[in-house]
Chain A
């Protein structure tokens, strides 16, 4: 067992307290079980006026032991068709990238991970990324190509997958 109150532990506990006191609209997040603060499950609802509307997307956040110096990783468990989400569910978004490893300078430093970011900011960024895909650094190339060339078909694919994932 790690010591009771490491920096990361305390910080995560505080973020949990804040997120339970002031929940974000359309987003639920909490640790997976009572004994482990370093693995969170969150549920993001599809943003309104997008093909993802009415979708319920479940994701797992894994925190490193030196959080908040290093960013967590995020993985969707619900299948989701999106240019910036890998087919296995891993999320590719600038806020989850530490400022060290971007040789091509796609992303400016102020959108990257820093110790001042928080779970709340990550989830809000992911929610807005779902609504507005970033075509510059695609993770799912099929989705990116379809998004750029054939919006109607893209919307249709997304909607179909949303309905499937709700198992209606």
Chain B
């Protein structure tokens, strides 16, 4: 697994830095959870007014009951979901790439060239061969909207106030499906905010009349589920196992592993209830498994490290399993490499230092000479001044 290949896959507010509207990075960072730095997933509101991903704040609170931002006491029971924000984040996340493409500076420069190259550039960016000519017009539309255009209350098209008050409003009232040239031209640009797949349909004026408001304010759950209450850590191991069994979770492992598993499942389960699109219990269980394997992996690798450093100190290098992670042995190897490199190149370094010292001295000598010259010059100047003084005296 090489992270260099996926470093550009993670989105970041700085992605907007080189686009036409760099201030969008503010919006981008506002829609992110401060804990995981990712886009808010099932956002919840705390008592103190801060918003985090449901799962992030639940995990944090199960460590200590404090809001990480203001350190005010925060309890699980006081968390409330914010559905509208969930919608906003989802919209932004879904349209982020399109927005970035349409606002990128390269594209703007290209759009000043002839239109044929435009199309090729855009289709290249789309990557799937879908020629999206509309993206370009969408930009023009945006620019014009900034010039104080008004939206027609009937067909929703942007135009100057004079145009609306003049002919357009009458035409629109007579024929709400309005098929003036102006309309068709404008409506294509609306697809800027829609997926490229729907852009072809939206070129017909009929679709533009209905504004697609895709806001879902009811979660997708069929049955109303109750939240699982917090785990009482004083219950007996048997009861804990019963509880795990009830939610169809594995019951192997030590007591603290069972507790951790139950706690994480409660967090996942309750966070899932805050989501606008909750997933099934089965996928929650698979999430839990992933989480657990990750934790175990890390513990094992740490143990490996310890074993390695132990064997290293005992000078018994019979261990065959190669360490995956960085351990003390490699650190030492690095240091030894440093030392041998230093020894190898000692002469070279010394030569360099000598040269540097020589240069320093040369510079100093030069400075001294310069200073002397300056002094001499100054003396000359003074002489000249004195002479001129004498001259002026003589003249007077």
Contact = CB atoms under 8 A, between A and B. Distances in A.
A and B co-occur in one complex: yes
Interface of A: 1-4, 6-7, 10-11, 13-18, 21-22, 31-39, 60, 64-66, 68-69, 77, 98-100, 109-110, 114-116, 167-168
Given A7-B36, A39-B325, A116-B34, A100 B64 contact: yes
Interface string B3-25: 11011001010100000000000
Contacts of A168: 349, 353
Contacts of A4: 1, 6
B97 interface: no
Given A3-B290, A11-B36, A110-B71, A21 B4 contact: no
B63 A69 contact: yes
A22 B17 CA distance: 12
Nearest to A16: B7
Contacts of B339: 167
B6 A13 contact: yes
Contacts of A13: 3, 6-7, 10
B293 A36 contact: no
B37 A14 contact: yes
A157 B7 CA distance: 42
A35 B297 CA distance: 15
A15 B37 CA distance: 9
A13 B299 CA distance: 21
Contact of B60 (A16, A22, A38, A69): A69
B368 interface: no
Interface of B: 1-4, 6-7, 10, 12, 14, 34-38, 56, 59-60, 63-64, 66, 68-69, 71, 290-291, 293-295, 297-299, 324-326, 331, 334-335, 339, 342, 349, 353
A15 B334 CA distance: 25
Given A110-B71, A116-B68, A2 B297 contact: yes
A77 B324 CA distance: 20
Contacts of B331: 60, 77
A125 B59 CA distance: 26
B46 to A, nearest CB: 13
Given A18-B14, A21-B14, A77-B331, A37 B298 contact: no
A36 B305 CA distance: 14
B317 to A, nearest CB: 21
B72 to A, nearest CB: 11
State the 3 A-B residue pairs at the shortest beta-carbon distance, nearest first. Answer: A65-B298, A39-B326, A115-B35
A1 B295 CA distance: 11
Most buried by B among A21, A39, A114: A114
A116 B69 contact: yes
A38 B324 CA distance: 12
Given A33-B326, A99-B64, A115 B56 contact: yes
Contacts of A116: 34-35, 68-69
B294 A68 contact: no
A109 B60 CA distance: 15
A80 B342 CA distance: 19
B348 to A, nearest CB: 13
A121 to B, nearest CB: 13
15 contacts: A13-B7, A13-B10, A15-B37, A17-B7, A21-B14, A22-B14, A34-B2, A35-B3, A65-B298, A66-B59, A77-B335, A100-B64, A115-B34, A116-B68, A168-B349
B271 to A, nearest CB: 12
A115 B59 CA distance: 10
Contacts of B2: 34-35
B237 to A, nearest CB: 24
Contacts of B60: 69, 115
A34 B12 contact: no
B68 A115 contact: yes
